[in-house]
Chain A
Amino acid sequence: MHATALLGQTWKLSDVVEIVAETPRAKTIWFDIPDWPGHRAGQHVDVRLTAENGYQAERSYSIASAPNGTRIALTVARVEDGDVSPFLCDDLRPGDRIELRGPLGGYFAWEPDQGGPLFLVADGSGVAPLMAMIRLRAATQSETDACLLLSSRSWADIIYREELERLSGDGLTVVHTLTPSQPPGWTGYERSVDAQMLAAVGPPPAARPRAYISGPTPFVELVANALVELGHSPDRIRTEHFGPTGG
């Protein structure tokens, strides 16, 4: 067996080096993994937690950081009744170690030489794999035009808000919709993403954008179907479903 074929198959205890609060409900956990083989923007890792009684729970989390050395970042939204995310958000500390395997996937990945334009559509923490693409685009000074449409519950719930503001311009457009809650004076979108919003915000079908859609399953299905109805080619649309909440 060729060595590279085995990458990502084994569980490895990985060191938590830093934890950053992104919003009241989401944290970014940085790991340092000395033999990390590198990843592609859009890939994910599996996280496995084992309780003292042997019960194991596994979840997949997208990598939010651009490929850069041995450090990777996962952004985790806290799901109230989840098995895994409350532990990751509330109990995990720098210096702790948890089991990861990866990088995994390749279908929902983007490389700068694939070009674009990119139309990135996310709900909540679904923005994580798209942020890896946006960060990679910036790090490589890619000239690919990109548009992010991000739906968040409120202004305070916008993940990576300040970094997205900084990276905007130079071909990157960021559009927020806030639902159900908006700050005073908000003039932007304040409804769930729909076909009309996608048509107004994103590149036209004639530009043949590469669309990456990430979030809870009902959101992803709605956006993917709306893009096809607007005339976008299904083979340019990639989706990542988180299930009902993301767990």
Chain B
Amino acid sequence: MDSQMLDGNAVAGMLQEVFAVEMTNAIETCRGCGASDALGATHVYRGAGTVLVCPHCDNPLVKIVRGDTRMWIGFPGLAMLQLPVV
């Protein structure tokens, strides 16, 4: 465990910019270990970009890099994302 670690709640604002809905209650399924968790429960590290990792196996799920006019978002370790629909 790294004391710099945050969780998915910390990136709620950024995720909401991308997806336009509340995302911390969305359920992700990890491609590495198959576990499913709310995005709010994922572990988050920030450096030049932001990485969401699986809280069980540390597999990187989502990578986000933000520039001034553009955002790059990759899903290297995500098998599935479940969102509520209205």
**Residue B24 contacts which of A6, A108, A243, A244 (CB distance < 8 angstroms)?**
A108
Q: Known A9-B20, A243-B5; judge A107-B10 contact (CB<8 A).
A: no
Q: Known A107-B38, A241-B10; judge A9-B86 contact (CB<8 A).
A: no
Shortest C-beta distance, A76 to chain B (Å), equals 16
**Residue B7 contacts which of A5, A9, A58, A241 (CB distance < 8 angstroms)?**
A241
Question: Is A46 close to B, CB under 8 A?
Answer: yes
Q: A241 near B13 (CB under 8 angstroms)?
A: no
* Chain B facing A: main interface SS: mixed
Question: Is A51 close to B, CB under 8 A?
Answer: no
Shortest C-beta distance, B13 to chain A (Å), equals 4
Q: Known A217-B5, A241-B5; judge A5-B13 contact (CB<8 A).
A: no
Q: Chain B: which residue is nearest A46 at the CB level?
A: B13
A residues in contact with B25, CB < 8 Å: 106-107
A residues in contact with B3, CB < 8 Å: 216-218, 243-244
A residues in contact with B22, CB < 8 Å: 8, 104-106
A203-B38 Cα distance, complex, nearest whole Å? 25
Q: A217 near B4 (CB under 8 angstroms)?
A: yes
A239-B13 Cα distance, complex, nearest whole Å? 17
Q: Known A44-B9, A101-B13, A241-B7; judge A221-B24 contact (CB<8 A).
A: no
B residues in contact with A242, CB < 8 Å: 6
CB proximity to B under 8 Å, residues A97-151: 101-102, 104-108
B residues in contact with A243, CB < 8 Å: 3-6, 10
A221-B7 Cα distance, complex, nearest whole Å? 11
Question: Is A1 close to B, CB under 8 A?
Answer: yes
B residues in contact with A60, CB < 8 Å: 9-10, 12-13
Most buried by B among A108, A216, A218: A108
Question: Is B39 close to A, CB under 8 A?
Answer: yes
A residues in contact with B4, CB < 8 Å: 217, 243-244
**Residue B1 contacts which of A6, A9, A218, A239 (CB distance < 8 angstroms)?**
A218
Question: Is B21 close to A, CB under 8 A?
Answer: yes
Shortest C-beta distance, A193 to chain B (Å), equals 16
Q: Known A2-B86, A105-B22, A106-B22; judge A44-B12 contact (CB<8 A).
A: yes
CB proximity to B under 8 Å, residues A209-229: 216-218, 221
A residues in contact with B13, CB < 8 Å: 8, 46, 58, 60, 101-102, 104
Shortest C-beta distance, A240 to chain B (Å), equals 5
A58-B10 Cα distance, complex, nearest whole Å? 11
Top 3 A-B pairs ranked by shortest CB distance?
A107-B40, A107-B24, A104-B12
Provide a sorted-by-A list of 18 A–B residue pairs whose CB atoms are within 8 angstroms: A2-B86, A5-B20, A9-B17, A60-B13, A105-B12, A107-B8, A107-B9, A107-B25, A217-B3, A218-B3, A221-B1, A238-B40, A238-B41, A239-B7, A241-B6, A243-B4, A243-B5, A243-B6
